[in-house]
Amino acid sequence: MNFTRNLIALALTGFVASTGMAAMDKAEHAAAKDRISADYKLAKEHCDTLKDNAKDVCMKEAKGKQDIAKAELDARDKPDAKSDYKVAKARADANYEVAKEKCDDMSGNAKDVCKKDAKAAHVRALENAKVARAEAKPADNMSEKRADVAEAKKHGYRGRAAFKLKEMDEKHGLLKPGAVIVDLGAAPGGWCQIATEKKCKVVAIDLLDMDELPGVVFFKGDFMDDDAPDKLKTELLKLDRSGLADAVLSDMAPNTIGHKQTDHLRIMAVVEAAYYFACEILKPGGTFVAKVFQGGAEQDLLKDMKKRFEKVKHIKPPASRKDSSEQYLIATGFKPLDKG
């Protein structure tokens, strides 16, 4: 299903695709619109040659592709946060419609589970799109963001987040050749790229899909799920007989809902989960890095961390946007508890 792959690829290229293009003149716009309609017509004709569920799925894919292309076209003319949101929403809706249609080919409980998963993924995608829109308020911020994305692409990185880890590594020596790294919240994979550039072996997880990268074992899933830590541990055992890691890096950023206290609790919950996981699987001397917001980690957590690591500090890498409250907690020199 090349069409599905294209749709997924479109969904993943997300922000970059919609913001990296220059505005068009009227004639170009009209021609592009005609092309979109023609592509849709062709795709529908192809779908008509199919039968049953395959035909329905194909039709939804064709419609989704058309909607995404239209939203992208509008975003070229009016490159702003609202247009980017519309593109992201078109992608999310298209993926949802296709996923639901595929579920219809199942029966009984499998069908119900499939639909529930599809709905949950849709809700998550929409929340992510809203967060991106909220974070990209001023026009200056948008053009700055575009420049960052272009800069990342120029260096062959999947996103500007790559620069943050690169800078933290250059300053604090986090990544050693041959080291085993756990990357939590890894998509689209910028940190994995930096880690593998330094010849590290990586086990990574994210709610979202991530394109393959040599040297990285990737799981799509929620790190907060009960079975996620065990899945990561099983993979670590394959990389290193000790089953331990040299560093646990978390760039996880849970969806925000705009309610300050709730958002803070959600963020702290993932930081804490990442921290306790790191305490289980780090080698002596290991490193823990986590993204935190709004004044850093909670005092209790920080107190505990200072007992378990030789050095703990909050830093803001230069690549981290100044208008964001994001900062990183770097804890080095892990001291495992004496099990005796």
Ligand X SMILES: C[S@@+](CC[C@H](N)C(=O)[O-])C[C@H]1O[C@@H](n2cnc3c(N)ncnc32)[C@H](O)[C@@H]1O
Residue 208 engages ligand X in binding (rule: CB under 6 A): yes
Sign of the C-alpha dihedral, residues 85, 86, 92, 93?
A: positive
The 3-state DSSP class for residue 120 equals helix
Q: At what angle do helices 81-103 and 2-19 cross, to 10 degrees?
A: 170
Q: Which residues pair with 218 in a beta bridge?
A: 204
Instruction: In whole angstroms, give the CA distance from residue 95 to residue 4.
Output: 9
Residue 14 engages ligand X in binding (rule: CB under 6 A): no
Closer Cβ to ligand X, 30 or 257, answer by number: 257
Q: Check: CB of residue 17 under 8 Å from CB of residue 90.
A: no
The 3-state DSSP class for residue 181 equals strand
Which amino acid is located at 95 in the chain? Answer: N
Q: What is the DSSP letter of 325?
A: -
Closer Cβ to ligand X, 66 or 250, answer by number: 250
Residue 251 engages ligand X in binding (rule: CB under 6 A): yes
Task: Figure out which of the listed residues 57, 73, 186, 202 binds ligand X, where binding follows CB under 6 A.
Answer: 186
Residues in contact with ligand X, counted by CB under 6 A, come to a total of 23
Task: Figure out which of the listed residues 57, 81, 88, 162 binds ligand X, where binding follows CB under 6 A.
Answer: 162
Q: Name the one range near ligand X by CB under 6 A: 45-53, 171-179, 201-209, 310-318.
A: 201-209
Nearest to 202 by CA among 166, 170, 177, 229: 177
What tokens does 294 get?
Answer: 């709004």
Q: Name the one range near ligand X by CB under 6 A: 50-58, 154-162, 278-286, 298-306.
A: 154-162
CB of 78: closest distance to ligand X in angstroms?
A: 26
Residue 206 engages ligand X in binding (rule: CB under 6 A): yes
Residue 302 engages ligand X in binding (rule: CB under 6 A): no
Closer Cβ to ligand X, 53 or 128, answer by number: 128
Closer Cβ to ligand X, 51 or 154, answer by number: 154
CB of 90: closest distance to ligand X in angstroms?
A: 19
Task: Figure out which of the listed residues 87, 182, 207, 236 binds ligand X, where binding follows CB under 6 A.
Answer: 207
Residue 21 engages ligand X in binding (rule: CB under 6 A): no
Instruction: In whole angstroms, give the CA distance from residue 37 to residue 91.
Output: 17
Residue 191 engages ligand X in binding (rule: CB under 6 A): yes
Assess whether 238 carries a catalytic annotation.
no
Conformation bin of residue 98: beta by default, left when phi > 0, alpha when psi is -120 to 50: alpha
Q: Name the one range near ligand X by CB under 6 A: 16-24, 199-207, 232-240, 307-315.
A: 199-207
Q: Name the one range near ligand X by CB under 6 A: 74-82, 216-224, 276-284, 297-305.
A: 216-224
Residue 121 CA, distance from chain mean position: 13
CB of 270: closest distance to ligand X in angstroms?
A: 6
Nearest to 103 by CA among 160, 159, 56: 56
Residue 145 engages ligand X in binding (rule: CB under 6 A): no
- Out of 70, 145, 291, 307, the active site residue is 291
Strand-strand pairing, 245-250 and 216-220: unpaired
Instruction: In whole angstroms, give the CA distance from residue 276 to residue 265.
Output: 16
Q: How many CB atoms lie within 10 A of CB 22?
A: 7
Residue 47 engages ligand X in binding (rule: CB under 6 A): no
CB of 7: closest distance to ligand X in angstroms?
A: 19
276: CB partners within 8 A, 6+ apart: none
- Residues carrying an active site annotation: 291
Residues of this chain that interact with ligand X (CB under 6 A) are 158-159, 161-162, 185-191, 205-208, 222-224, 251-254, 270
